[in-house]
Amino acid sequence: MKLLISGGAGFIGSAVIRHIIQHTADEVVNVDKLTYAGNLESLAEIDQSKRYSFEQVDICDAKELQRVFNQHQPDAVMHLAAESHVDRSIDGPAAFIETNIVGTYTLLEAARSYWLSLADAKKEVFRFHHISTDEVYGDLEGPEDLFTEQTPYAPSSPYSASKASSDHLVRAWHRTYGLPVLVTNCSNNYGPYHFPEKLIPLMILNALEGKPLPVYGEGTQVRDWLYVEDHARALYRVVTEGKIGATYNIGGHNEKQNIEVVRTLCGLLEELAPQKPQGVARYEDLITYVEDRPGHDLRYAIDAGKIASELGWVPRETFESGIRKTVEWYLGNAGWCKRVQDGSYQRERLGTTS
């Protein structure tokens, strides 16, 4: 197969591309605008492969998308391009509306036009796989409740509302136009190459620098943590074997309070990076509780039974094994982290040094 992957320079997208190039015989076309969260260094392991190509294209640019489809002739689309940081969506929702809603619409139309032009045999195998989030479901009430594929949507933030909108668009294009779509909704991802504004990499890097570890409220928010390489395997399984029109929830079966996650990271750093910054006796001493953000959902948890029973996917990593691998990766890749933190990863691709 040849897969067109939008947002392939992002955290999850780059993991999907690395998985496909390293573990399958398929080809990949990476379509990415390269916003602040897009980092081609995350693809350095595979970017010399003859089965990989890159197109710096905004998914809101209909003319360029048409060119990409016509030139590369993909067999499937995996749509990961999205603005995805909740705090940023609260501060400035416009970019989330533009990319997540208008961008998804534009990509759907480009894919539909291309799909309609295909010969019957290629038309039959074409797929549009939309990758979304469990945040579209809102907040869980009871401690035993789980999100299923039938859970009603109740998004709380501009980010999750924009992703919910994109999910509805994809399903409408299937129902109205017959476009062969698949939708997946995943829990919180973590692992290598995660942009440092997110909870786990932020805590690791702040701790190593002796900076405060800011925890919202009392840190009692519960998330289901999914190792990104497990997610990449799941997404490939869905796009290759999933049922047209179906939705699959993907979770890690690892519910943890945010404060538990932070304390686990501190404990691992005590073991793996015992030489602390000056003035720090214990990494846990850096934990600082800050005012909770508006509309902060208390608990997310995924029932991933459908993808397990229908497609045979289950996560390989426990939280304990995955979080250790993650900390070890950040400790071993200080150069990547530094270039992201100081912005040089962006300046280098623009050909500037200041």
Active site residues: 134-135, 159
User: Tokens 């799909």 belong to which residue?
Assistant: 115
Question: For 43, which DSSP code?
Answer: G
Q: Which two tokens stand for residue 196?
A: 């440092």
Q: Which two tokens stand for residue 107?
A: 């990509």
Distances (CA, A) of 257 to 33, 103, 206, 211: 34, 33, 19, 21
What is the enclosing helix (H) or strand (E) of 27? strand 27-31
Question: For 147, which DSSP code?
Answer: B
At how many degrees (to 10) do helices 199-208 and 334-341 cross? 100
Q: Which two tokens stand for residue 133?
A: 């989030």
CA 271, 193, 3, 1: dihedral to nearest 10 degrees?
-30
Q: Which two tokens stand for residue 241?
A: 């074997």
DSSP string computed for 246-312: -EEEE--S-EEEHHHHHHHHHHHHHHH--SPPTT-S-GGGGEEEEPPPTT---B--B--HHHHHHH-
Partner residues linked to 55 by β-bridges: 31
> What does the alpha-carbon distance between residue 125 and residue 75 come to, in Å, rounded to a whole number?
7
Taking Cα atoms as reference points, which of 19, 41, 44 lies closest to residue 232? Answer: 19
Task: Say whether 25 sits in a helix, a strand or coil.
Answer: coil
Contact 80, 12 (CB under 8 A): yes
